[in-house]
Chains A and B, each alone.
Chain A
Amino acid sequence: MIESSSDLRDTCAIVGIGNSRLGKVPGVSSLDLIVEAMRNAIDDSGLKLSDIDGILCRGPDEIYSHHQEVGGRLGINAKFSTTVTNGGASQILSVALAVMAIKHGLATTVICGYGRDAWSRTHANEEARVRNETRPPSQLPREFGPEYGYYSAAATHAFGATRHMHLYGTTKEHFGHIAVAFREHALRNPQAQMKKPLTMEEYHAQRSIVRPFGLYDCSLRSDAAGAVIVTSKARSKDLKQPPVIIKGFGTHNNTKGWFADDNMVVTAAKQSGERAYAMAGLGPKDVDTAQIYDCFTYMVLTQLEDYGFCKKGEGGDFVASGALRMSGVLPTNTSGGQLSEAHAEGVLQLVEGARQMRHTYPAHRQVKDAEIALISGHGGNQVCHSTLILGRA
């Protein structure tokens, strides 16, 4: 039985949305990228900078007290600010913390965001390109990994993919349906990093990275940032944009570890999603579009199961049915996702989910008649999860 925090339902709204330039943005730091996204979100909202009294954000891990650097560059003080360090689950967690802070009077208007320079730092020189590592050296494993040639987040997630394939008969073809659908969405998005179509034949002919994953199973290295502004529903009514209502959120962190229990095949999306559905008073059948944390194709498949869009083990058939396409039953990662738009640790999924709820996209990008969006965040050492459910005012 999941306890519901339904007193937070429909109390706050997203009133500003912004992103930075995406993809290859050489010569711009991650901090300048996040400030670029935040400036765009503030412009979008019609708020004045002085209206912002909270900052919840994240950037590369070696930046100490990241939120202070962001506040300094914005030129504001904050009633409530901190750096959220749950990896790719941080961005939705920031919105959840903003709602709680606003509800309890710690702040009135909170800007949330994330920015990184992952393309630039993995292409600085040949050694950086080979290592393909975005973490600072102090965070890299010292034992139980490097001596075995165990490197990369791709490998860690690939363990889950192998196990899922073993248990449920999931195939590479299933993963391919995810990569192909998201690429098709990216082609509708002029800002997306990937510009060329991807066919299933090209997917199968891809270069292998760490089996079962090949190149197109892996998300992009991007210089990218995104931001949203959260305020109370009452304040949201007089602002420039149609407010996007925060209907529910939930978190769950399998802190015993990705390698413990069945965590690599039943992720914390399950409990996180149940809590978000309970707060919103909704279920998977009510969701019109999903923006799923797609660091790797397999992670989309398992989360779709864990969120109840299909049964555990049936994610392969679900994605093969065309469900994730714009014309499907659950248009998913409609901006192209981290696989084909740009990878900014989930903040662009938040940005896209909120934009879908405004109904201001041209028809070819808008999920028709979408009233409810579900957004997921996944990260840390693969075990932190957060879920956000958005709706229209």
Chain B
Amino acid sequence: MSEVRKPLPRPAPESVPYWEAARHHRLEIPHCHACDGYWFPPSRSCPHCMSADVGFKQVSGRGKVFSFVMYDRVYHPAFAEEVPYVVALVELEEGPRLISNIVGIRPDDVRCDMPVSVVFDDVAEGVSVPKFKPV
């Protein structure tokens, strides 16, 4: 019986640079050259000023846990060995919030507003997923 593998991200066209940077262990998110704003998830128009003069920019990788949930029920068989695990909404220092896992801590010890920083999990050949650990 073959092992059930965790799903890999299937990027939308506008997210390809994000995953390419992650592959090289850099956290790069959409950034507006016109207003210096950041946002997430990726799109090719700045939601702060409507400029199309946008790109990706590396960010600090530091942030805090805005909120989180802990899975006890298995929705996908590949996560059967992981429960309980934490899925968090991390608010980056630069403002945008993104979904990730909190690792390197007992799930029961995760708290809102806890400071965290990015680490990269090499989940498959050529695919790395940003996760966060407490600082």
Contacts and interface: CB of A to CB of B under 8 A. Distances in A.
A254 interface: no
A146 B7 contact: yes
Interface in B1-39: 6-12, 15, 19
B129 A147 contact: yes
B67 A264 contact: yes
A64 interface: no
Contacts of B87: 148-150, 155
B12 A130 contact: no
Given A143-B10, A146-B7, A209 B72 contact: yes
Interface in B45-104: 47, 66-79, 82, 84-85, 87, 89, 97-101
Q: Which of A144, A148, A162, A256 counts the most B-chain CB atoms under 10 A from its CB?
A: A148
Contacts of A143: 9-12, 15, 19
B135 interface: no
B71 A149 contact: yes
Nearest to A163: B67
Contact of A208 (B6, B73, B76): B73
Contact of B71 (A145, A147, A155, A256): A155
A65 interface: no
Contact-residue size bin, chain B (C-beta under 8 Å from the other chain): 35 or more
B122 interface: no
A131 B76 CA distance: 7
Interface string A48-62: 000000000000000
Given A143-B15, A145-B99, A149-B82, A130 B75 contact: yes
B68 A162 contact: yes
B6 A142 contact: no
Given A143-B9, A145-B99, A159 B69 contact: yes
Given A149-B82, A259-B89, A211 B69 contact: yes
Contacts of B47: 256
Interface in A214-255: none
Given A143-B9, A166-B112, A166-B113, A210 B41 contact: no
Given A130-B74, A132-B75, A210-B72, A147 B123 contact: yes
A257 to B, nearest CB: 9
B21 to A, nearest CB: 14
A150 B78 CA distance: 12
Contacts of A144: 9, 15, 41, 98-99
Given A143-B12, A147-B7, A152 B68 contact: no
A80 interface: no
A151 B79 CA distance: 11
A163 B114 CA distance: 12
Looking at A149, A207, A256, A264, which has the most chain B CB atoms within 10 Å of its CB? A149
A150 B89 CA distance: 11
A179 interface: no
A367 interface: no
A316 interface: no
A158 interface: yes
Contacts of A142: 9-12
- Which 8 A-B pairs have CB atoms at the shortest separation, nearest pair first? A151-B75, A208-B72, A143-B9, A166-B112, A146-B7, A211-B70, A142-B10, A163-B67
Given A143-B10, A159-B68, A256-B47, 9 more contacts: A131-B76, A143-B11, A149-B75, A149-B87, A150-B99, A163-B112, A166-B113, A209-B73, A211-B72
14 contacts: A130-B74, A130-B77, A131-B75, A142-B11, A143-B19, A146-B7, A147-B129, A148-B99, A149-B76, A150-B99, A166-B67, A166-B113, A208-B72, A256-B47
